[in-house]
Structure 1
Amino acid sequence: MNDVEDAMNGTGLSRRDVLKGSTALALGAVFASPARAAAPPPETITPQLIDAATKEAKVVLYSSMDLPVGEKLGKAFEAKYPGIAVQVERAGSERLFQRVAQEFASGIRAVDVINSSDASHFISWKSNGWLAPFVTEDIAQHFLPDYRDPDGMFATTRIWLSSIAYNTNLVKPEDAPKSFADLLDPKWAGKMVKGHPAYSGTIMTATFQMVRELGWDYFEKLAKQRVMQVQSSTDPPKKLSLGERAVMADGNEYGIVLLKEAGQPVEPVYPTEGTPTISGPTGIFATAPHPNAARLFQAWLHTRETQQFFIDFTAQYSVHAQVQSKPGRRKISDIKLMKEDAAGVEKMTDEIKSRYAKLFKV
């Protein structure tokens, strides 16, 4: 087992508009159910698939990954398979969710493959019949059932955390917050930055977990701390490294790790209450305009080689059993984690958006 498995084994439009009254599937059913007859057999990357994908010459990826990350991934695929261009359309996951819904409502079929930082989106897309089944041998053999859809509609491409962090030029280690509760200390008023759940799937998922563990009470108090509000979970690490704020109340931990490795004055903090955990699944749309290129990209993305390459340069975590942590980085199995619940997020999305906007006046 890899580090993620060790850790996890024990641990615009409203959502209703998009679902149109359909019954959402629970995450436990989506990932953990026994495989059913409808699931397709595992496939490999064949010369025939490569040839068909090359003739299509393009794959369109909608992704919430930081743009430089998505583009680097795209360039790696293009180098592996010359003649197939990767068009990366990057936005926050909540915006991507709205975009897909609007495109489908308008009869636009532009996206081939999508990766979201809000796993609950795949509950909706699967319910609506918008996803195409495709399972590779890597996914079937090396991904635990909790991290792959039994019907082959999607698989967890990456896992990452939403942590606290601080600027080491502005805060001494002994004075740094150690918990979410510490962020309520008046000394941090006007000195914090955080992302927005209406834009970022990472922040939506983290907010749900924190509401579940700490209550809305916590956010009512945090909102009084004059927190700088940004959109994406990728923004707080950047604001922190620039010294615009001393403390990051939430945001992606991998951004902090990469900045620290690059010599920037930032340090991650894994709160004593537990660190919110986020899964990023990837799936293919049934209406993909470049279906063979989409299948090739999905297959390539979940190979051991690509997964190892991806986590090495992004400082995220893989659920592929053969992938190992990069030496020198903290193992996820050493971190106390908050548990994911995509079905819970799906049910609370509209409430989180509305209550958060009122509390933080954004």
Structure 2
Amino acid sequence: MLYTSMDLQESRPLVEGFTRKYPFIRVEIYRANGEDVSQRMITEYRARRYLVDVFEGTGMDVVKVLNEAYGQRYFTPRAGGYPRQARDPGGQWVATRYNMLVLAWNTDLISAAEAPGRYEDLLHSRWRGRMGIEADDQIWLATLFGLWGEARAMDFFRRLGAQQLSVRSGHTLLAQMIVAGDVALSPTIYNHRAEALKGRGAPIDWRPLEPVVAIPNVVMLARRAPHPHAAMLFVDYILSSEGQVALAKLGRVTAHPFVKADPPYLNQGFAYRTVDLQAFLRNFARYDSLWQELLIGRR
């Protein structure tokens, strides 16, 4: 059983590639957003219901499960090809893909020349009342606080919160609202989602505001997995170059350093920073308080 936050139109083809390689294994998928998946797994384990074999999802949600001791260490030679920041020092997860938070805008409403090119450009009065953000991107704030320092980050987010932001739950929903013209622009859009919509002819484009915040999605092996050997075959597959190429063909930004995203500019040509998941969760209460105070509470 695979638990994942990856959309079914992407997770199903990935699983189909795996089962073609291992036709004797049948894979069931439970898909929901990362928070719901992690909460379901935690609830099941507290009830001593051990259904899941592999959890592939946003790093924050996987680490929540690991902090409950519902995962286990695993070894795969595939992990050796990944950079240090893409691997858990404790051996309980490896990154599979990244969600890059970028600026996206409606091309019918804003030209490329007009669109912001730096974070500070978001503070211009012309964007007041026209900008949206995702409701739960505290990790974006936390990463920029870590990079910029307290004084600069506090000033930026306080001024951003004064821009009469439209706050919406769900990155996909927010991207669709940009396409519909309900929101003119947003700095919290996943670039692979904007690129997919653009490829289908939707009036949307994107650019990185550097440094881009890269949110890792990771794969973990469940403690008491009912099918641990089949589970490890899946872990090996998704981390292999074959599995990573399959993810790239689905438009995802791959974590493997030698497998290029498709198109390559999804993660090339700009600076990005990955998130220290454990440090973020240790300090989540503070970052959530700042997020609510500076952005959500000031709408």
Same-fold status (TM-score > 0.5): yes
Q: TM range, normalised to the smaller chain?
A: 0.7 to 0.9
Provide the alpha-carbon RMSD of the alignment: 2.5
Are the aligned partners of 1:121 and 1:346 in contact in 2 as well (CA < 8 Å)? no
Are the aligned partners of 1:118 and 1:205 in contact in 2 as well (CA < 8 Å)? no
Q: Which protein has the bigger strand share?
A: 2
1:335 lines up with 2:270 in the alignment: yes
Are the aligned partners of 1:64 and 1:92 in contact in 2 as well (CA < 8 Å)? yes
TM-score (norm 2): 0.86
Aligned to 1:206: 140
* Shift in alpha-carbon separation, 1:121–1:220, aligned structure 2, 3 A: farther
Are the aligned partners of 1:195 and 1:235 in contact in 2 as well (CA < 8 Å)? no
Aligned-pair CA distance for 1:232: 2.2
TM-score (norm 1): 0.72
Deviation by residue 1:93-151 (Cα, 9 ceiling, x = unmatched): 233333333332232322221123234743x54454322233222223x2233322355
Moved more, 260-269 or 213-222: 213-222
Aligned to 1:224: 162
Are the aligned partners of 2:131 and 2:166 in contact in 1 as well (CA < 8 Å)? yes
Aligned-pair CA distance for 1:264: 1.9
124, 148, 165: which is aligned to 1:185? 124
63, 86, 90: which is aligned to 2:31? 90
Ranges in structure 1 where 5+ consecutive residues have no aligned partner = 1-59, 198-202
Aligned-pair CA distance for 1:276: 0.7
349, 353, 357: which is aligned to 2:288? 353
Are the aligned partners of 2:106 and 2:203 in contact in 1 as well (CA < 8 Å)? yes
Aligned-pair CA distance for 1:331: 5.9
Aligned to 1:129: 69
Aligned-pair CA distance for 1:238: 2.1
Question: Hey, what's the Cα distance between the residues in 2 that align with 1:132 and 1:339?
Answer: 23
Aligned to 2:47: 106
Matched length: 293
Question: Hey, what's the Cα distance between the residues in 2 that align with 1:145 and 1:287?
Answer: 27
Q: 2:192 corresponds to which letter in structure 1?
A: Y
Deviation by residue 1:168-217 (Cα, 9 ceiling, x = unmatched): 111011111112222222222222222122xxxxx342231133335244
* Shift in alpha-carbon separation, 1:222–1:94, aligned structure 2, 3 A: farther
Question: Hey, what's the Cα distance between the residues in 1 that align with 2:242 and 2:234?
Answer: 13
Question: Hey, what's the Cα distance between the residues in 2 that align with 1:88 and 1:195?
Answer: 26
Question: Hey, what's the Cα distance between the residues in 2 that align with 1:243 and 1:131?
Answer: 43
Percent of pairs identical after alignment?
23
Q: Any residues of structure 2 matched to 1:20-31 within 5 Å, and which?
A: none
Aligned to 1:23: none
Question: Hey, what's the Cα distance between the residues in 1 that align with 2:132 and 2:10?
Answer: 22
Question: Hey, what's the Cα distance between the residues in 2 that align with 1:92 and 1:229?
Answer: 18
Ranges in structure 2 where 5+ consecutive residues have no aligned partner = none
Are the aligned partners of 1:257 and 1:315 in contact in 2 as well (CA < 8 Å)? no
Are the aligned partners of 1:193 and 1:239 in contact in 2 as well (CA < 8 Å)? no
Aligned-pair CA distance for 1:311: 1.4
Aligned-pair CA distance for 1:333: 4.0
Question: Hey, what's the Cα distance between the residues in 2 that align with 1:133 and 1:341?
Answer: 19
Aligned to 1:289: 226
Aligned to 1:162: 101
Question: Hey, what's the Cα distance between the residues in 2 that align with 1:133 and 1:282?
Answer: 11
Question: Hey, what's the Cα distance between the residues in 2 that align with 1:263 and 1:250?
Answer: 21
Aligned to 1:324: 260
Question: Hey, what's the Cα distance between the residues in 2 that align with 1:230 and 1:74?
Answer: 31
* Shift in alpha-carbon separation, 1:211–1:92, aligned structure 2, 3 A: farther
Question: Hey, what's the Cα distance between the residues in 1 that align with 2:21 and 2:61?
Answer: 31
Aligned to 2:241: 304
